[in-house]
Structure 1
Amino acid sequence: MSETLVSPVRIGRQAVGALGFLALALGTLQSVVEPSLPLLQRELGIGPAEGALITITLLITGAVVAPIAGKLGDRYGGRRVLVVLMTAVSAGGLLSSLAPNLPVLLLGQVLQGAMVGALPLSFILVRRHLPPGQTQVAVGVVSGLFTGGALVGTLIAGPVAEGLSRHWMFALPTIAIIATTALVSRLMPHDPPIQSDARIDWAGVILLSCTLLALMLGIRTVTSVDLPPLAIGAIALAVAALATGWVAVERRAASPMVDLRMLAAPAMWSSCVLTVLLTASSGMVLFLLPQLLAVSAEGYGFGASTTDIGLFLLPGTIAGVVSGTVGGIAARRFGPRAVVIVGAVVAAATLIGLASLHDAVWQLVVAKVLTAFVAGICTTALLASTATAVDSKDTGIATSLLVVTRVVGVALGAQCAGAILAAGTDPVSGRPTESVFVTGFAIAGVVAALSLLVVRVMKKGTQA
């Protein structure tokens, strides 16, 4: 691999600011769905299982885009690829804003998932156009504003959807993305691509996309439709065949999307398993809490509006923002294993307790804060430990694999929670029964507790 000898053009604060405001707009668009999910279900006439699809569709696209965004930026130039991806995101945001039904909204969410590639591409740009000391500051600014966008989206989703309409909830951040993308394209100089003989693993990208989609649709179909055992077996075989095909392609590819050979390392496979368990538990909470808050106050619910739900979820969003920094510090001081053990115990106790105590809003708010904080510090600790456990040349691949694993875990948790609610919905009232929420929280707690078993197996394997 050789890089051009032309000295990169230096950029100023305006260009970094444009990247930061783009990240802010992207974070806002990404986060408007969670507090407004009950409203979307009502207006689109769909149930919890279909609502879970809205939650996970963007994540699935992101899981596919994340590992290849940096490669595309190196091959074709960061600015060019960023503009292309933001064009797809803008098209997705406009589709979501105009969507008259669920299929169109899901298509919009698929396109919006390209936003996951914005951060690695932004980092490529600032690394090429700034000296090392300023690069770290710029990366912090862009990352912080993307995270801040999650707070903005959580806050504005309700007032915009209720004051204007659900359409504007998607349209306003999309307009901001279009404007800031144009500004980035104008202020950011062209970055020459790095010449490389490595090819993009398009076969792996396509097969992974099909595998994840088949898995999520399979879970929804099996749990929401009364299928005969033969049909369930056929669905399982189809998912297994796609997954097997993806593994075969990745093992033979010269430049694989994900280097599966790394999974043979104990630190890698154990981190992936722990990440799936912890994020699946978190994904179930992510879906269940807004649903419980929105259930009519007649009985066990709270009848919260979209605006109220956003305010109730805000402390949890803030906890998730803070947890990234705390996770890195805790992993360095106490070690990732200790962080995961404490986190798993707290998450399991919180969720099992929530199964019994969920008759006051403050209980739900505290549970959201604790689970979001625990999921954040644990996944950050696992990322940090994995990054230092592999060879330096494999750091990008290893962390990308964990990012994909984290997205898959959240998506699985949300889809399973949606299936549980759909299975326990009263056909007369159209509302889930209270016992279904109890079951969902208890299962999420058990899934978190399984992390302790994995940690114990890890210790035995290391000693052996």
Structure 2
Amino acid sequence: MLAAATGALESALTPTLPLLQRELSLTPAQGALVGIALYLTGAILLPITGNLGDRFGGKRVMTRLMGVVVVGGLVSSLAPNLPLLLLGQVLQGAMLGALPLSFIMVRKYLSQGESSVAIGVVSGLFLAGGMLGTLISGPIAEGLSRHWMFAIPTIGIVVATLLVHRLMPDDPPARSDSRIDWPGLLLMSGILLTLMLVLAIVPEAGSQPIELGALVVLLGVLVTGWIVVERRSRAPMFDLRLLAQPAIWSSYVITFAVCLGTSLSMHLVPQLLAATGDGYGFGASATDIGFYLLPGAAAAAVAGPVAGVTVRRFGSRAAVIVGVVCMMAALIAMVFLHGEIWHLVVGKVLVALASGVCVTAVVVKTATAVDHSDTGTATSLVLVIRVVAAAAGMQIGGAFLTAGTPSGSNIPTESAFVTGFVIGGAIAVLSLLAVRKLDKGVKE
């Protein structure tokens, strides 16, 4: 229930982003910034929550984390302007930390084969909540107001968190050493924050070259410092020796490529549905967009359990290969076929299903390739990469649309959408270069 409630709150923004852009007078680039604000906090907190969950127990950390999410939902629901809406989305981003905490508890109480399916089910419930949020946020925003589309899922999170606290058994920490690597955690937070700021500035790099260059230099310094600290720490936040395992580093590479390609291309779909160009676009309302995106959300929800069963029977490598090929085929088709609403709906379904299978497969691989004491940390980094890639994809997609909008108009050209579909597919295909390493040295 908690996974479904958090998924609903996360997805509330997607179908209503064009509506928010109109009501708050946002540019496409500002709309993309609102979209990544949630992922900003998620990227920072994911490795922290995973590490804390390994050390102190998943349930204990999760209940406290949901308190932050509830505050964020309330701020977003009451926000009258862009700055407060951004603040609310930043606080809501803490919800992403619930996933590695769930994986910790799954691995503690289930066998490896059962864990593969259970991780897929948990991921599927999160995405099922996303499906619900996609369905109800548009009608709520138009029938009541945009404020209620955040308030209603937040109420669901409050109820679900109380049930988790009351009904779930406490899980003992997987690590006997409870020391926290604060220097490593702070440096990792700085790395992710700087990286997200770089992504936010990239679309306007031409007007802010000095700021962008300074952030890139700072990012390099932080990464170097983090590596030095982790190598010297007695209780590192992330054991860098894990990266030497082919199953781990290939999972990270595949996740980045698949999620970057998916986010870039799928950010364009609601924008194309809402556009009213000459011979393209459909002028769809927020409610209509929510219904059009619903089948894709359903496919993503199904992808988790499907991936879990597929990995258990055929292995992660087979699941990823099939997913990437299907995703590539769908995006190629959307390049040529986007003149009817059903073209976009079917394309979104295929991409969501394929991407969901790929990401769940690599999460399962990562979770089962490490010791129990590293489950939260290792899987949280997969999810961090997913978040960073999703944010980067949205920014790149927003940059394509901004660059493709003629002067004096607020409607991007058709070629901007086509270019985004092409680039998204090409990036996803690059993940196949790392697939052959996915099963090396580890038994499913």
Which TM-score tier does this pair reach, normalised by the shorter chain?
0.7 to 0.9
1:72, CA displacement in angstroms? 3.4
1:96, CA displacement in angstroms? 0.6
1:69, CA displacement in angstroms? 2.7
1:450, CA displacement in angstroms? 1.5
Partner residue, 1:72: 52
Give the distance between the partners of 1:161 and 1:349, measured in 2 at CA.
34
Distance 1:241 1:341, change over 3 A: same
Partner residue, 1:9: none
1:312 to 292, 295, 298: 292
Q: What one-letter code is carried by the residue in structure 2 that aligns with 1:336?
A: S
User: SS of the residue aligned with 1:35?
Assistant: coil
Deviations 1:165-190 (A, max 9, x none): 11111111223323443455556687
User: What fraction of aligned residue pairs are identical, expressed as a percent?
Assistant: 58
1:136, CA displacement in angstroms? 11
1:326, CA displacement in angstroms? 1.9
| Contact preservation (8 Å) 2:255, 2:386 | yes
1:317, CA displacement in angstroms? 0.9
Distance 1:384 1:126, change over 3 A: closer
Partner residue, 1:290: 270
Give the distance between the partners of 1:330 and 1:123, measured in 2 at CA.
18
**Superposition TM-score, scaled by structure 2 size:** 0.87
2:194 to 203, 214, 221: 214
Deviations 1:68-109 (A, max 9, x none): 335535655655543422221111011111112222112111
Report whether the alignment pairs 1:364 with 2:344. yes
1:350, CA displacement in angstroms? 1.9
User: SS of the residue aligned with 2:90?
Assistant: helix
After the TM superposition, which residues 322-341 of structure 1 pair with which residues of structure 2 at under 5 Å, given as runs?
322-341=302-321
After the TM superposition, which residues 100-139 of structure 1 pair with which residues of structure 2 at under 5 Å, given as runs?
100-121=80-101
Partner residue, 1:39: 19
Distance 1:247 1:106, change over 3 A: farther
Q: What one-letter code is carried by the residue in structure 2 that aligns with 1:235?
A: L
Give the distance between the partners of 2:329 and 2:347, measured in 1 at CA.
10
Report whether the alignment pairs 1:273 with 2:253. yes
| Contact preservation (8 Å) 2:247, 2:369 | yes
After the TM superposition, which residues 159-178 of structure 1 pair with which residues of structure 2 at under 5 Å, given as runs?
159-178=139-158
User: SS of the residue aligned with 1:214?
Assistant: helix
| Contact preservation (8 Å) 1:64, 1:205 | no
Q: What one-letter code is carried by the residue in structure 2 that aligns with 1:325?
A: P
Partner residue, 1:89: 69
Q: What one-letter code is carried by the residue in structure 2 that aligns with 1:249?
A: V
Deviations 1:372-406 (A, max 9, x none): 11111112222333444445654444333322222
Give the distance between the partners of 2:167 and 2:367, measured in 1 at CA.
33
Partner residue, 1:16: none
Distance 1:84 1:266, change over 3 A: closer
Q: What one-letter code is carried by the residue in structure 1 that aligns with 2:320?
A: V
Q: What one-letter code is carried by the residue in structure 2 that aligns with 1:40?
A: L
Report whether the alignment pairs 1:447 with 2:438. no
1:23, CA displacement in angstroms? 3.4
Structure 1 stretch displaced more, 92-101 or 207-216: 207-216
Structure 1 stretch displaced more, 33-42 or 389-398: 389-398
Partner residue, 1:48: 28
Structure 1 stretch displaced more, 114-123 or 21-30: 114-123
Give the distance between the partners of 2:366 and 2:65, measured in 1 at CA.
29
1:281, CA displacement in angstroms? 0.7
Give the distance between the partners of 1:114 and 1:341, measured in 2 at CA.
31
**Superposition TM-score, scaled by structure 1 size:** 0.83
After the TM superposition, which residues 299-448 of structure 1 pair with which residues of structure 2 at under 5 Å, given as runs?
299-390=279-370, 394-448=374-428
Distance 1:460 1:238, change over 3 A: same
Deviations 1:220-247 (A, max 9, x none): 3232252375554333222222332333
Give the distance between the partners of 1:231 and 1:250, measured in 2 at CA.
28
Partner residue, 1:8: none
* Structure index of larger Rg: 1
Structure 1 stretch displaced more, 68-77 or 97-106: 68-77
Report whether the alignment pairs 1:197 with 2:177. yes
| Contact preservation (8 Å) 2:140, 2:149 | yes
Give the distance between the partners of 1:230 and 1:60, measured in 2 at CA.
22
2:161 to 160, 177, 181: 181
1:358, CA displacement in angstroms? 1.1
Structure 1 stretch displaced more, 378-387 or 88-97: 378-387
User: SS of the residue aligned with 2:207?
Assistant: coil
User: SS of the residue aligned with 1:430?
Assistant: coil
| Contact preservation (8 Å) 2:274, 2:285 | yes
| Contact preservation (8 Å) 1:29, 1:170 | yes
Distance 1:27 1:260, change over 3 A: same
1:249, CA displacement in angstroms? 2.8
Give the distance between the partners of 2:38 and 2:266, measured in 1 at CA.
14
Distance 1:239 1:317, change over 3 A: same
1:278, CA displacement in angstroms? 0.6
Q: What one-letter code is carried by the residue in structure 2 that aligns with 1:412?
A: A
Distance 1:446 1:122, change over 3 A: closer
Q: What one-letter code is carried by the residue in structure 2 that aligns with 1:284?
A: L
| Contact preservation (8 Å) 2:50, 2:376 | no
Give the distance between the partners of 1:177 and 1:352, measured in 2 at CA.
39
Give the distance between the partners of 1:240 and 1:136, measured in 2 at CA.
36
Distance 1:377 1:308, change over 3 A: same
Give the distance between the partners of 2:408 and 2:53, measured in 1 at CA.
53
Partner residue, 1:149: 129
Give the distance between the partners of 1:344 and 1:222, measured in 2 at CA.
27
| Contact preservation (8 Å) 1:285, 1:368 | no
| Contact preservation (8 Å) 2:263, 2:391 | yes
Give the distance between the partners of 1:353 and 1:140, measured in 2 at CA.
28
Give the distance between the partners of 2:311 and 2:106, measured in 1 at CA.
27
